[in-house]
Amino acid sequence: MQISDLPYPDPGVPDARSGPRFLLWLGRGQLGGQARSLCWGLVHFGGIAGLPYSVGSGVGAVVERDGAGLLRAGALLLLTGVAISVGDAMLHRTAVTNWITAAARVQQLLARKTAELGSALTRRVAAGEVVAVSTGDVEKIGWFVEAVSRFLAAACAIVAICVGLLFLAPSIGVVVAVGVPVLALSVLPLLPHATRRADVQRDKAGKATELASDTVAGLRVLRGIGGEELFLGRYREASQQVRAAAVRSAGMWALIAAVQVLLPGVLLVTVVWYGASLVQEGRLEVGELVAAFSAVATMLYPLRSVEEIAMAYSFSRPSAQRAARVLSLTRTGPGPADAGREGAGRQGEGSPDPVGDLHDPATGLVAPAGRLTAVVCGDPDAAGRLAERLGGHPADAGGEDGDASGGVPVLLGGVALDGLPLDTARRLVLVQDKDPVLLSGTLRELFDVPSSGKVEPSAALAAAHCGDVLDALLQAAPDGVDDPMDARITERGRSLSGGQRQRLALARSLAADPEVLVLDEPTSAVDSHTEARVAEGIAALRAGRTTVVLASSPLLLDRADHVVLVDGGTVAAAGTHRELLRREPRYRAVVTRETEEEQRVARLGPARLGNELTGIEESA
């Protein structure tokens, strides 16, 4: 795989059982690139291994006044120089290619997993953790993959130098053969400490970044309540913690760097001192001493690759473990989900799309096909979980945070949603959560989403009552932009109000025109007049299509064909909005925000309540 071939047509199915297994799987997927990098590494480090012999031969030829030998040494020195330079250039090229392609594969896998799980991902793994895995951890994993081939080539060069010294100068060769493993292993005891300190720094930096992101996202609200200084103080404190952790981490790496300089220097001094004594005794030629000195000096360079691979693995192993934990997540949990799926039926490739009612066996909710169904939940968090489950993202088996689903899949036309191919499930059911995201770009790009093609963006914008949004975008657009569809939206739509962002996201969902549209509080940030217009627009545009709205607004509920009250994780009542207001106190309490005293008055009636009050006064 070359960089020009990215992205991968299919990044594959990773072995996410553990961090080391994931690294091994990545390595197996890049055998060709690793082989090319290893070959160029052997050329590069082979030239380095031959350099001491060339220098020693040249010095020996000068001492012996051997002109032919000097020419041979010069030719060999030229050859090793070419090998070093060409090999280094190509090794760097192929190794960086391995790095980039490995990082790209991991990022594609993470992007695919994010698309598969949707917002269920951030319920299982913190959003900051996902961002950290897809940025810093991906870099560390790519670093290890890139360093493997360079380490193997360097190890071959070190072995070749040691073997050559044993033949050229056995006495010095023994000293070097004993000292090299000590140099290679000297930093290993320090690496776990350095890794732990680096992990602490990473965690604190991640928390500081998350705090900064949340502060920026809520800056308008903070200014409104005067909370800027409070959050600024929190960020200063988090920033100082990151600085202190970075200093501690840098101190350990400084110690490792000092060891890497000190011990090779000790070995080099030892070789020179011992070799000089051998020359004085006549047991070693001057050229052989120069060759031995050059060999030890040049061996320090490939030894860095040994230390690098140890550092790369120490950093990449926890990073790979975190990536594997994210990649091992599935759309469904084990256990009860399997049992529920057996009776629900599955949808194979090539089968027609299921049609019919949307049914959640866990709560008993049934959304009739082709009708607008409103669902009322007293708990907003429970409503959010229900919306996700209706979109084919069931909670983990056994329930979560009071969720009684137990992993039972939602059915569409009798077919389990989580048994459908992912693209089919996404095409059939679209869930818009209560905090939708708008990406930066033009309004036309915002509506460039997979859709049936039956609903034009203009119709969706009109249904969502976005006239004032279009005017605001045109006013902020540069001169020459006359079409609102060409106006640009800032990142996350920060230049728009919360209600304007909410209506634009609703229009995008309406334009997609899925078979089933699930809306979680689509009008919570708009005023009553606008909400009434939006409710009419949804009902008109989605006529004949299955729509589920989770809301407690009477304006939306009154437009629904069917209203369901979910209380305690199950369906408690169903009917029209007006029917439920008359006969269901729990529904009335949620929709009208009645207090407990008001509910009591409604239950007892004025006459009976007056009798109770009279009895209390008499007893007093």
What's 229-243 look like in SS3? Answer: HHHHHHHHHHHHHHH
Sheet holding 415-416, edge to edge: 365-367, 358-360, 411-412, 415-416
- The HSE-up count of residue 169 (CA atoms within 13 Å, CB side) is 32
Determine the pLDDT at residue 511. 94
Long-range CB contact pairs, 274-282, < 8 A, 24+: 274/171, 274/172, 274/175, 275/169, 275/172, 278/169, 278/171, 278/172
109, with CB counted inside 10 A (0-12, 13-18, 19+), is buried
Q: Record the tokens describing residue 81, joined without a space.
A: 């120089």
φ, ψ for residue 550, nearest 5 deg:
-95, 110
Q: Regarding predicted confidence, which is higher, 63 or 360?
A: 360
Look at residues 140, 153, 36, 14 and name the one whose alpha carbon lies nearest to residue 97: 36
Distance CA(464)–CA(461), nearest Å, equals 5
Distance CA(199)–CA(207), nearest Å, equals 12
Tell me which residue has tokens 């290619």. Answer: 97
Instruction: Give the number of other Cβ atoms within 10 Å of residue 182's Cβ.
Output: 11
219, with CB counted inside 10 A (0-12, 13-18, 19+), is middle
Given a contact cutoff of 8 angstroms between Cβ atoms, the answer to whether 448 and 537 are in contact is: no
- In this prediction, residues 222-240 reach a mean pLDDT of 74
Determine the pLDDT at residue 497. 84
**Could you tell me if residue 207 is left (phi over 0), alpha (psi between -120 and 50 degrees) or otherwise beta?**
alpha
pLDDT score of 447 more than 80: yes
Q: How confident is the model at residue 337 (pLDDT cuts 50, 70, 90)?
A: very low
Its pTM stands at 0.65
Q: Regarding predicted confidence, which is higher, 466 or 351?
A: 466
Given a contact cutoff of 8 angstroms between Cβ atoms, the answer to whether 46 and 87 are in contact is: yes
Determine the pLDDT at residue 344. 47
Partnered with residue 380 across adjacent β-strands are none
- In this prediction, residues 423-447 reach a mean pLDDT of 87
- The HSE-up count of residue 188 (CA atoms within 13 Å, CB side) is 9
Orientation angle between helical segments 606-619 and 596-604, nearest 10 degrees: 110
Q: Record the tokens describing residue 250, joined without a space.
A: 């840098």
Task: Indicate the SS3 state at residue 360.
Answer: strand
Q: How confident is the model at residue 601 (pLDDT cuts 50, 70, 90)?
A: low
Of 270-284, 391-405, 426-440, give the lowest mean pLDDT range.
Answer: 391-405
Polymer length of the chain: 620
pLDDT score of 156 more than 70: yes
Distance CA(155)–CA(171), nearest Å, equals 22
51, with CB counted inside 10 A (0-12, 13-18, 19+), is buried
pLDDT in tens, 187-227: 778 878 887 888 788 778 777 877 776 666 666 555 666 66
pLDDT score of 336 more than 50: no
pLDDT score of 86 more than 60: yes
Distance CA(359)–CA(389), nearest Å, equals 11
Distance CA(552)–CA(535), nearest Å, equals 13
Q: What residues contact residue 228 under an 8 Å CB cut-off, 6+ apart?
A: 219, 222
pLDDT score of 441 more than 60: yes
Largest CA distance in the chain: 132
Distance CA(522)–CA(531), nearest Å, equals 9
Q: Are strands 429-432 and 488-489 parallel, antiparallel or unpaired?
A: unpaired
Distance CA(168)–CA(538), nearest Å, equals 87
First to last CA, the chain: 90
Q: How confident is the model at residue 430 (pLDDT cuts 50, 70, 90)?
A: very high
Question: CA separation (Å) from 431 to 492, 518, 550?
Answer: 18, 5, 11
Per-chain mean pLDDT for the chain: 81
How would DSSP label each residue in 487-548?
SEE-GGGTTS-HHHHHHHHHHHHHHH--SEEEEESTTTTS-HHHHHHHHHHHHHHTTTSEEE
Partnered with residue 546 across adjacent β-strands are 516
- In this prediction, residues 269-287 reach a mean pLDDT of 83
Distance CA(171)–CA(148), nearest Å, equals 32
Distance CA(402)–CA(511), nearest Å, equals 34
For the ranges 117-131, 279-293, 576-590, the one whose mean pLDDT is highest = 576-590
pLDDT in tens, 13-55: 999 888 889 999 998 888 888 999 999 989 988 888 777 778 7
pLDDT score of 610 more than 90: no
How would DSSP label each residue in 68-136?
HHHHHHHHHHHHHHHHHHHHHHHHHHHHHHHHHHHHHHHHHHHHHHHHHHTTHHHHHS-HHHHHHIIII
Determine the pLDDT at residue 331. 66
Question: CA separation (Å) from 162 to 44, 261, 271, 296, 489?
Answer: 17, 20, 13, 9, 64
